[in-house]
């Protein structure tokens, strides 16, 4: 599903070069819930941006859903993201002047769906995240956890194969963080989504199938997550 | 939700700011629409003032230079001349006023009714004007301004001639466009003679021509007749005369148009500043939109669309307000407030309305382009790094 071959990403900061990723190779199977972990500045967000089609590598090859992202123009990358990737960010980032349903509907404006179908899909996505009753509420009228669930609904409304989440629990209390992690796990379990999450949250380890640790731009080690371990335990 | 409602919601995000920017644009467009009526309005005003068969003769050197009084008889004798009367500026000041506040002229009473037939002076008033040496005919606006009525006695202090004259108002010049104060030339001649002087000149000669087709030949004939005289003449149609007379006003109109253009440019900067603030405040949202697949072009279009929608709506308010006001003035001039008569010539036409709307549209486009371009071109990762 996601293949990174010998990928490096170098940024220029004035006269200096910053090597955010250094010859990283990674393969993620379809339908996996994957965590990218590591200290600040380890390159995990850069890796997430590359595999989500937000950025291009300095060298190496990124292939997602059978498409080489290296060869796509800016517009093609935007189209790729709208069709294949759903995004969840740390700070919910809902449009404050739109209701929950309208926020969820946003990615569907880029499709050829009619107004009523868009509305219907948005309502369905909100029901999936347990907020069917709050469709008409404005973001300011919702708690942080609810807003993040609206963001999850927005990420899945166009039915992308991949959902990427950058610190999705970073701004939530423990209860809401667990709810969001459970929701992401359900996306993988019930809808077959491939979920890639950058997190510092140790609780996340229990929900994912695999954890890739990065340090100083290098893929340090890969370990099985709690979900995979439990699955293995159930099998034995 | 549609694209339109998305734009509208974004505009309504900061209502006060949108209202203030919209207000500035609306006011500017209303001003532009009003001022755009000036060139046509001036022309319309001149058409109203001017008769097609009336010409005016004055000294070629300028209006302040006199012509010999004998010219009047020579002009009256020319072919095609129905009637002619002279105007001599008296420069009378009323009571304690510091300067001349209405035009007052000494004229020949015998033919004035024919030369200014279109003014509609009552025959009885004309008859009395001819029969009384101290009679005066006064324009409606001047009568109204001073609260005078026929039968009143009015004294004017001479500023050009060393005489003060007392007049009896015998009638009205029932035209809003003629605030004049006319009195008999003979009365002035006698007063000047009594003070030891002699009045043997005139200011201008007003001529009624029998046929519009005769006007052009007559203009040439009059000037050729006096070509080798002591005072050469310049004869022109009434419209041309007023146009030259208001020449300075045309310069003022031009100046106003330039200032208006500068106002429009200022409004572009104000609207651009608003658009910049809006874009800066929404960098995080813009990054999110780009992440979920909004292309640069789409983000650019959306932001420019917001600025254009605001400017066009505000422009429509301004343009229609100017149209409404213009129609109100016309209604007032034709009904309860005839003093507004000249203002009724300045009409906001459909063309001006459409021009105003287009100007507002372009103000919106221009103001939105630079900040929107910057936001659209900024890389999504760069923005995400800056705002998260």
Residue B333 confidence (pLDDT):
67
Mean pLDDT of A190-205: 86
Shortest distance between the Cα of B311 and any Cα of chain A, in A, equals 20
Best to test chain B binding among A48, A52, A78 (most B CBs inside 10 Å): A78
Q: pLDDT at residue B247 above 70?
A: no
CB contact under 8 A, A78 and B2: no
Residue A91 confidence (pLDDT):
74
Pick the residue with more confidence: A232 or B299?
B299
Asked whether residue B70 is assigned to any structural domain, the reply reads yes
Residue B285 DSSP SS3: helix
Residue B21 confidence (pLDDT):
87
Mean pLDDT of A161-186: 86
Burial class (CB in 10 A: 0-12, 13-18, 19+), A136: exposed
Interface membership of A124 toward B (CB under 8 Å): no
Asked whether residue B51 is assigned to any structural domain, the reply reads no
pLDDT level of residue A137 (50, 70, 90 thresholds): very high
Q: Are B13 and B279 in contact (CB under 8 A)?
A: no
Interface membership of A107 toward B (CB under 8 Å): yes
| Same-domain check for residues B196 and B273 | no
DSSP-assigned letter for residue A70: G
Q: At which of B230, B265, B289 does a domain end?
A: B230
Euclidean distance between the first and the last CA atom of chain B, given in angstroms as a whole number: 28
pLDDT level of residue B235 (50, 70, 90 thresholds): very high
Asked whether residue B97 is assigned to any structural domain, the reply reads yes
Q: pLDDT at residue B32 above 90?
A: no
Give the ipTM. 0.85
pLDDT level of residue B107 (50, 70, 90 thresholds): very high
- Average the pLDDT over each of A46-50, A115-119, A130-134, B337-341 and give the range with the smallest value: B337-341
Assigned token pair, B206: 């007003």
List the single residue in A83, A86, A89 with the smallest CB-CB distance to B388: A89
| Same-domain check for residues B254 and B127 | no
Residue B343 is part of which domain span?
3-46+248-387
| Same-domain check for residues B90 and B224 | yes
| Same-domain check for residues B133 and B208 | yes
Residue B379 confidence (pLDDT):
78
Size of interface A-B (CB pairs under 8 A): 75
The nearest alpha carbon in chain B to A114 belongs to: B2
Best to test chain A binding among B10, B293, B387 (most A CBs inside 10 Å): B293
Residue B339 confidence (pLDDT):
56
Distances in Å between the alpha carbon of B226 and those of A132, B57, B223, B240?
97, 11, 5, 20
Distance, in Å, from the CA atom of A213 to the CA atom of A26, rounded to the nearest integer, reads: 11
Q: At which of B184, B203, B230 does a domain end?
A: B230
Residue B100 confidence (pLDDT):
83
| Same-domain check for residues B221 and B73 | yes
pLDDT level of residue B204 (50, 70, 90 thresholds): very high
Residue B340 confidence (pLDDT):
57
B294 interaction partners in chain A (CB closer than 8 Å) = 78, 82, 110
Residue B246 confidence (pLDDT):
67
**Number of domains making up chain B:** 2
Note the pLDDT tens digit of each residue in B275-307.
888 888 888 888 888 888 888 889 999 999 998
Pairing mode, strands A162-166 and A85-88: parallel
The residue to which tokens 């052009």 are assigned:
B216
Assigned token pair, B293: 């697949």
| Same-domain check for residues B374 and B334 | yes
Q: At which of B230, B260, B291 does a domain end?
A: B230
Interface membership of B384 toward A (CB under 8 Å): yes
Percent of chain A residues past pLDDT 90, beyond the cut? 34
Mean pLDDT of B25-50: 80
φ, ψ (nearest 5 deg) of residue A173: -75, 175
Distances in Å between the alpha carbon of B59 and those of B62, B68, B70, B77, B199?
5, 10, 14, 19, 17
| Same-domain check for residues B133 and B260 | no
Q: pLDDT at residue B82 above 90?
A: yes
| Same-domain check for residues B82 and B186 | yes
Mean pLDDT of B59-76: 92
**Number of domains making up chain A:** 1
Note the pLDDT tens digit of each residue in B255-265.
877 887 888 88
Q: pLDDT at residue A102 above 90?
A: yes
Q: pLDDT at residue B249 above 70?
A: no
Assigned token pair, B307: 């600025």
List the single residue in B2, B10, B292 with the smallest CB-CB distance to A107: B292
Note the pLDDT tens digit of each residue in B363-388.
888 888 888 888 888 877 777 776 55
Asked whether residue B206 is assigned to any structural domain, the reply reads yes
Pick the residue with more confidence: B353 or B245?
B353
Distance, in Å, from the CA atom of A139 to the CA atom of A86, rounded to the nearest integer, reads: 19
Distance, in Å, from the CA atom of B131 to the CA atom of B127, rounded to the nearest integer, reads: 6
Percent of chain B residues past pLDDT 70, beyond the cut? 94
Residue A211 is part of which domain span?
2-235
Mean confidence (pLDDT) of chain B: 87
The model carries a pTM of 0.69
Shortest distance between the Cα of A182 and any Cα of chain B, in A, equals 23
DSSP string, B168-215: EEEEEE--TT---EEEEHHHHHHHHHHTT----EESEEEEEES-HHHH
Mean pLDDT of B335-339: 60
CATH code of residue A139: 3.40.50.300
Residue A233 confidence (pLDDT):
67
Asked whether residue B345 is assigned to any structural domain, the reply reads yes
| Same-domain check for residues B273 and B377 | yes
Assigned token pair, B32: 């532009």
Distance, in Å, from the CA atom of A143 to the CA atom of B383, rounded to the nearest integer, reads: 26
Distance, in Å, from the CA atom of A184 to the CA atom of A177, rounded to the nearest integer, reads: 11
| Same-domain check for residues B263 and B343 | yes
Distance, in Å, from the CA atom of B33 to the CA atom of B132, rounded to the nearest integer, reads: 50
| Same-domain check for residues B182 and B275 | no
Note the pLDDT tens digit of each residue in B45-54.
777 667 778 9
Assigned token pair, B53: 């068969």
Mean pLDDT of B110-135: 92
Assigned token pair, B177: 């466009």
Residue B234 confidence (pLDDT):
93
Residue A34 confidence (pLDDT):
92
Q: pLDDT at residue B152 above 70?
A: yes
Q: pLDDT at residue A104 above 90?
A: yes
Interface membership of B381 toward A (CB under 8 Å): yes
Distance of CA A229 to the CA centre of its chain: 22
What is the Rg, in whole angstroms, of the alpha carbon atoms belonging to chain A? 18
A82 interaction partners in chain B (CB closer than 8 Å) = 292-294
């Amino acid at each position: 599903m996601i293949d990174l071959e010998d990928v490096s990403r170098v940024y220029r900061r004035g006269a200096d070069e910053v090597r955010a990723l250094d010859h990283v190779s990674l393969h993620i199977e379809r339908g996996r819930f994957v965590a990218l972990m590591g200290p600040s500045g380890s390159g995990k967000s850069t890796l997430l941006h590359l595999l989500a089609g937000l950025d291009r590598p300095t060298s190496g090859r990124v292939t997602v859903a059978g498409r080489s992202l290296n060869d796509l123009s800016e517009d093609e990358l935007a189209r790729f993201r709208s069709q294949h990737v759903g995004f969840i960010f740390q700070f919910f980032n809902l449009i404050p002047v739109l209701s929950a349903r309208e926020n969820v509907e946003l990615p569907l404006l880029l499709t050829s769906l009619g107004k009523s179908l868009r509305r219907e899909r948005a309502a369905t996505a909100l029901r999936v995240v347990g907020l069917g009753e709050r469709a008409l509420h404005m973001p300011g009228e919702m708690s942080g956890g609810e807003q993040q669930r609206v963001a999850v609904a927005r990420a899945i409304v166009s039915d992308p194969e991949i959902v990427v989440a950058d610190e999705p629990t970073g701004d939530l209390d423990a209860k809401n963080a667990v709810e969001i992690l459970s929701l992401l796990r359900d996306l993988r379990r019930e809808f077959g989504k491939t979920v890639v999450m950058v997190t510092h949250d140790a609780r996340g380890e229990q929900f994912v199938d695999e954890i890739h640790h990065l340090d100083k731009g290098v893929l340090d080690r890969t370990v099985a997550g709690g979900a995979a371990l439990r699955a293995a335990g159930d099998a034995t | 939700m549609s694209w339109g409602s998305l734009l509208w919601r974004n505009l309504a995000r900061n209502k006060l700011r949108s209202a203030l920017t919209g207000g500035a644009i609306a006011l500017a467009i209303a001003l532009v629409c009003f001022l755009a009526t000036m060139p046509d309005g001036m022309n319309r005003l001149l058409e109203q003032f001017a008769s097609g068969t009336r010409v005016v003769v004055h000294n070629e050197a300028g209006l302040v230079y006199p012509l010999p009084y004998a010219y009047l008889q020579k002009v009256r004798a020319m072919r095609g001349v129905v009637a002619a009367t002279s105007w001599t500026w008296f420069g009378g000041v009323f009571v304690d006023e510091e300067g001349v506040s209405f035009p007052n002229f000494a004229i020949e009473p015998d033919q004035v009714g024919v030369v200014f037939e279109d003014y509609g002076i009552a025959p009885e008033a004309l008859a009395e004007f001819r029969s009384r040496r101290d009679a005066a005919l006064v324009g409606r606006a001047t009568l109204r301004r001073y609260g005078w009525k026929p039968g009143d006695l009015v004294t004017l202090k001479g500023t050009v001639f060393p005489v003060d004259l007392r007049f009896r108002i015998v009638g009205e010049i029932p035209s809003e466009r003629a605030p004049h104060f006319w009195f008999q030339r003979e009365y002035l001649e006698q007063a000047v003679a009594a003070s030891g002087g002699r009045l043997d000149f005139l200011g201008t000669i007003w001529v009624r021509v029998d046929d519009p087709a005769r006007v052009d030949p007559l203009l040439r004939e009059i000037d050729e007749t006096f070509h080798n005289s002591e005072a050469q003449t310049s004869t022109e149609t009434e419209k041309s005369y007023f146009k030259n007379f208001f020449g300075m006003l045309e310069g003022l109109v031009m100046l106003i148009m330039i200032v208006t253009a500068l106002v429009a440019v200022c409004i572009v900067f104000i609207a651009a500043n608003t658009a910049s603030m809006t874009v800066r405040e929404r960098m995080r949202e813009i990054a999110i939109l780009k992440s979920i697949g909004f292309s640069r072009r789409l983000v650019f279009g959306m932001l420019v669309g917001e600025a254009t929608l605001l400017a066009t709506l505000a422009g429509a308010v301004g343009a229609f307000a100017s149209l409404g006001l213009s129609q109100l003035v016309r209604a007032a001039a034709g009904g309860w407030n005839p003093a507004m008569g000249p203002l009724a010539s300045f009409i906001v036409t459909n063309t001006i309305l459409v021009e105003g709307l287009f100007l507002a549209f372009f103000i919106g486009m221009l103001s939105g382009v630079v900040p929107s371009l910057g936001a659209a071109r900024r890389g999504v990762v760069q923005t995400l790094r800056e705002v998260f």
